[in-house]
Amino acid sequence: MNHARRSHRQRRPDQPQECTVHAFLGHRWPLARLVSDRKRRQVERADIEPVWQMASPETFFRRGVPFDLQETPAWTNRKLSRVKYHLWEAYLKSFDHYRTRWTAWLKRFQQRRQHFMQRLKTQGYIVDERIWKLDGRMVIGLGSATVWETGFVWYRTLGLPYIPATAVKGLLRAAWILDAIDTALESLPGEMDTAERRHIAERVEQWMDGKGDLPMEVSQRKQALEQLRGQLRAYLGTTDRAGLCMCLDAIPAGVPHFKLDVMNVHYPDYYTGDATEALDTESPNPIVFLVVEQTPFVFTLGVDAVRLRMRTKTGDADPQSLIAQWFEDLQCAAQRYGIGAKTRFGYGRFVAA
């Protein structure tokens, strides 16, 4: 009789239900305990295992993926976005708890980076750095391949987010090309159609990349545009010759502040092609993704002083003033255009710290 009562008590609809999900690191590794409301059949909380609380963000967000959701009750497999939200939220709380440990680890990494910069200087490079702070939120690598639907870029040996040197160099390139386009469009008459101005801007961009000819409509600025194209090739290089500008990865100057953000797909059936019209009868599909906010980053640029003097006839080029000009252009672009994904919505903007 007592056994029957216990069984009946265990099946109460308002009693929380727990299950353990595992990540695969060579073998089944307990990841977290999911607690759900049996009545509403929704995940209410996730308790991260202690060993994962000490893991780096790169390890958790890339490898802390539960592979056995299909073995858990049906409610865990219905709301994958909700499961992800509670897992990530639980880890971020533990990450903030160990922030002091991550501050010490980041300081040691920055010291090794300073030693690397000193070695570059002994090889003839002039290197300088600036610290700029995020004016809002940033996400990089949002569309990278991952089972979590949304990705992020991680520094493997550091375990924290960073801005790849390719992104920094691409932002500099975009800033200089847009500067050339503005120079070209200044010579056009004001009554010119917007579509025609856009077409000319596209042709100028292709010409800056060495494709096609310069439009006749901007021939008045040909000398200035050729000078800008020459600088672009000399600084960033071509497929045949390396450029003078050296960009390093931008790393956090302090322990990053992580937040969870949401993008809401209001018409999932329409976007996937299952419906011919976008109707309000569809259920929105919120997708959780990770962002970094209000975090300072160290941007580092360098120039090969030996090659710079060899490429100038007079030999009196000032590497420091050249780097200062590059930083000015980079800061203007980072503040105006942003870095990473969702820049149209104000993400990835930087201001001087």
What letter would DSSP give residue 276?
S
CA distance 189 to 278: 42
AA letter at 146 = T
| CA neighbor of 58 nearest in space, from 161, 127, 129 | 161
CA distance 19 to 34: 5
User: Are residues 22 and 31 in contact, defined by beta-carbon separation less than 8 angstroms?
Assistant: yes
Cβ atoms < 10 Å from Cβ of 221: 19
The percentage of the chain sitting over the pLDDT mark of 90, rounded to a whole number, equals 35
pLDDT at 4 over 60: no
Q: State the pLDDT at residue 71.
A: 63
pLDDT at 278 over 50: yes
**What is the pTM for the complete model shown?**
0.84
User: Are residues 293 and 319 in contact, defined by beta-carbon separation less than 8 angstroms?
Assistant: no
Mean pLDDT of the chain: 84
User: Are residues 339 and 163 in contact, defined by beta-carbon separation less than 8 angstroms?
Assistant: yes
Q: Between these two residues, 155 and 78, which has the higher pLDDT value?
A: 155
| CA neighbor of 256 nearest in space, from 134, 339, 87 | 134
- Give the residue-averaged pLDDT of 16-27: 76
- Give the residue-averaged pLDDT of 53-74: 78
Instruction: Find the range with the poorest average confidence among 21-25, 102-106, 191-195, 201-205.
Output: 21-25
pLDDT digits (tens, 9 = 90+) for 310-323: 776 545 578 888 99
pLDDT at 6 over 60: no
Q: State the pLDDT at residue 76.
A: 45
pLDDT at 99 over 70: yes
Q: State the pLDDT at residue 13.
A: 53
Question: What tokens appear for 163 in the block?
Answer: 């801005």
Q: Between these two residues, 251 and 183, which has the higher pLDDT value?
A: 251
- Give the residue-averaged pLDDT of 67-78: 58
CA distance 15 to 18: 10
| Band of residue 1 on the pLDDT scale cut at 50, 70, 90 | very low
- Give the residue-averaged pLDDT of 345-350: 92
pLDDT digits (tens, 9 = 90+) for 135-188: 999 999 888 877 787 889 999 888 999 999 999 999 999 999 998 888 888 888
Q: What is the DSSP string of 196-265?
A: HHHHHHHHHHHHHTT-S---GGGGGGHHHHHHHHHHHHHHHB-SSSB-SEEE--BEESS--EEEEEEEEE
The percentage of the chain sitting over the pLDDT mark of 70, rounded to a whole number, equals 90
Q: Report the Cα 223 to chain-centroid distance in Å.
A: 37
| Band of residue 38 on the pLDDT scale cut at 50, 70, 90 | low
pLDDT at 197 over 90: no
CA distance 329 to 308: 19
Instruction: Find the range with the poorest average confidence among 4-8, 48-52, 161-165.
Output: 4-8
User: Are residues 257 and 294 in contact, defined by beta-carbon separation less than 8 angstroms?
Assistant: yes
Instruction: Find the range with the poorest average confidence among 18-32, 187-201, 339-353.
Output: 18-32
CA distance 329 to 236: 14
Highest mean pLDDT among 42-51, 66-75, 219-228: 219-228
pLDDT at 75 over 90: no
CA distance 265 to 285: 5
Q: State the pLDDT at residue 253.
A: 94
Please report, for residues 16, 96, 148, the alpha-carbon distance to residue 34 in angstroms, rounded to integers and kept in the order given. Answer: 10, 21, 17
